[in-house]
Chain A
Amino acid sequence: MQDVNWIALSIFVLLFGLISWLGFAAAHWRKGDLDLLHEWGLGGRRFGTLITWFLVGGDVYTAYTFIAVPALAFGAGAVAFFAVPYTIVIYPFLFLVFPRLWNVCRKHGYITAGDFVRGRFGNRWLALAIAITGIVATMPYIALQLVGIQVVVGALGISGSGLAADLPLIIAFLVLAAFTYSSGLRAPASIAIVKDILIYITAFTAIIVIPIELGGFGKIFAAVPPQKLLLAVPGPNTTGAYGSYATLALGSALALFLYPHSLTGILSASSGHAIRRNAAMLPGYSFMLGLLALFGFFAIAAGVANLPEYAAGFKQFGNNFAVPALLLHSFPSWFVGIAFAAIGIGALVPAAIMSIAAANLYTRNIHREFINKSPSDRQESQVAKWVSLIVKFGALVFIVFVPTQYAIQLQLLGGIWIIQTLPSVMLGVYTRWFNDWALLLGWAIGIFAGTAMAVAVNLKAAYPLAFGGYTFPGYIAVYTVILNLVVAILLTPAFNALVARRVPADQTAAADYRA
């Protein structure tokens, strides 16, 4: 590994210290009673349009995204750009579905997707399935945020052996755990503002400076091997790379706002209007993500993979080292410090929100439903605070002791699992038509089929579905959520007939979904 970069490290530590202070100070921001779960876990639903923009932006465009998308462009080329159509087609869903969900959640004091499904369909087992899916899908996602910190810490030249190697990570996580415990969602919301400003500065500086250094975009793209520059044109009788590209974008978009951390960010908004405005403003982050994807090509053109000073980094972190190496190669140390701090802090924001979201799910849909049915407000928020610590600790243990590859594979499966909650949550916002047990069975079959398909292709995202002599490679999440939906639709009349004269269990009324 290269020597310790003291200037970059100093700036990194300084900025890290600043946001740690901010995280603790945030407890007093828009002060509320942090012994209430909706105050600790949703910031009291008081964040206006701009704070929601920073919070959701910092939440869904994670540090890992900023490392992994350029790494994919660096390694695999054009296919990495699916992140752009993905983050384009998200926003119509955000605009149409989620203000309705926000309204009904506000009206009934729901904090999680499980709460909503419990109220809408009156089935605690369905709510349990939603909650467990959310928690399981979130855990590897938190672990991956740590990979972002690991990569930049490694790139700063800090290395060691055994537990000492993981010491910076452990320190970062203790700080994260402490301010999340004390300030709840207010901590990541306030830190997100600082982090996003740093990220924007880094991205826009790099997109101007690096192409000038490398002699223009023409030269950069000329350095990219032709087979990486575009999607492979499909052969006869298959939709080929086009099918996987489009379904990856669509499926990822459908899954994104079903993740507990995204929903937590959205529900903390102060109104449905704030959410709709954000659907028009959040593409600002999509644009930046597209620019960052191009960094993968900059890294190819700069030839960082062949420079001896970065060999150890690439050996340790693989293609994930492409962006840190590019930044080290292109910028003076002080700017590298800012950029790396942006990525490191960028990991803390989603990690905090994810742990809060998982804690909310456990507290509301498992603990309150099955263990202590009538907790006091204080007990309830106390359970959530402790669970947020346990969740983070679990992620830390995972990343320190288990190879990163497993976290990546679990996160891939997590996307396939979380989309199976779509019929209950996203369609549930519009209709009570589905039978709750039919939804649960559809969910189970979707999870099972999705896992089996992913295993059959060695844990890749796309499965080559063969049908009538044609092959349709596509994102497993899309195929299996369709299967899930078909099962739920077919079984609904059957189950309804079995249990005649069902008592309608819906706590919500049509008017609750409107502003």
Chain B
Amino acid sequence: MNDAPPKRRTWSWWHLLFVVQFVAVLWPPFYNSAEPRWIGIPFFYWYQMLWVVISAVITAAIYLATDD
């Protein structure tokens, strides 16, 4: 809230980790199949649900690595 020089930069190489989740979920050929199933759920569904969890973990990791 003052004009002092910022203590940290706003860009970090850690942010590139975000690209991983974009590629993983925005390219349907990766996951548009029924097999392998998990407890009867087709791959298409559990893969994307799993990525919700992974993306949260990635975001948390980036937060911890970049936010002081």
Interface residues of A (CB under 8 A from B): 78, 81, 84-85, 87-89, 91-92, 95-96, 100, 106-107, 216-221, 229-231, 233, 241-242, 245-246, 249-250, 273, 276-277, 279-281, 283-284, 286-287, 290-291, 294, 509, 511, 513-515
Contact = CB atoms under 8 A, between A and B. Distances in A.
Q: What are the 10 closest A-B residue pairs judged by CB atoms, nearest first?
A: A218-B40, A217-B40, A85-B25, A92-B18, A283-B56, A280-B60, A280-B59, A242-B28, A84-B48, A514-B6
A351 B60 CA distance: 30
Nearest to A285: B52
Contact of A284 (B33, B45, B56): B56
Chain B interface mostly: helix
Interface string B1-36: 101011000100001001001100111110011100
A91 B61 CA distance: 13
Contact of A217 (B22, B26, B41): B41
A455 B68 CA distance: 49
Contact of A96 (B15, B25, B33, B45): B15
B49 to A, nearest CB: 5
A277 B63 CA distance: 7
A414 B6 CA distance: 38
A233 B34 CA distance: 13
B44 A230 contact: yes
A286 B52 contact: yes
A266 to B, nearest CB: 16
Given A85-B48, A221-B41, A287-B49, 11 more contacts: A85-B51, A88-B52, A230-B34, A230-B44, A242-B32, A246-B28, A283-B59, A287-B52, A290-B48, A511-B5, A513-B10
A217 B38 CA distance: 9
Contacts of B40: 216-221
Interface residues of B, number: 36
A108 to B, nearest CB: 12
Contacts of A219: 40
A433 B26 CA distance: 30
Contacts of B42: 221, 229-230
Given A229-B42, A280-B56, A287-B53, A84 B25 contact: yes
Contacts of A249: 25-26
Given A81-B48, A92-B18, A95-B62, A273 B67 contact: yes
Given A250-B26, A511-B6, A290 B32 contact: no
19 contacts: A84-B48, A84-B49, A88-B21, A88-B48, A89-B21, A89-B26, A91-B59, A217-B40, A221-B40, A229-B42, A230-B32, A230-B33, A231-B32, A246-B26, A276-B63, A286-B52, A287-B49, A290-B48, A515-B6
A290 B25 CA distance: 14
A375 to B, nearest CB: 26
A220 B53 CA distance: 24
A78 B5 CA distance: 50
Contacts of B3: 509, 511
B32 to A, nearest CB: 5
B26 to A, nearest CB: 5
Contacts of B44: 78, 81, 229-231
Contacts of B51: 84-85, 88
A159 B55 CA distance: 44
Contacts of B1: 106-107
A290 B21 contact: no
B27 to A, nearest CB: 7
A249 B5 CA distance: 38
A110 to B, nearest CB: 15
A111 B37 CA distance: 48
B22 A89 contact: yes
Contacts of B21: 88-89, 92
Contacts of A291: 49
B9 to A, nearest CB: 9
B1 to A, nearest CB: 7
A88 B67 contact: no
Nearest to B55: A88
Nearest to B61: A280
Given A95-B59, A283-B52, A283-B56, A276 B67 contact: yes
Contact of B32 (A84, A89, A233): A233
**Best-buried of B34, B37, B53, B56 by chain A (most CB within 10 Å):** B56
Contacts of A290: 45, 48-49, 52
**Best-buried of B3, B22, B52 by chain A (most CB within 10 Å):** B52
A76 to B, nearest CB: 14
A514 B4 CA distance: 11
Nearest to B4: A511
A229 B32 CA distance: 10
A231 B34 CA distance: 10
Contacts of A286: 52
B55 A91 contact: yes
B39 to A, nearest CB: 6
A291 B3 CA distance: 47
A478 to B, nearest CB: 11
Nearest to A106: B1
Contacts of B6: 511, 514-515
Contact of B34 (A88, A229, A250, A515): A229
B48 to A, nearest CB: 4
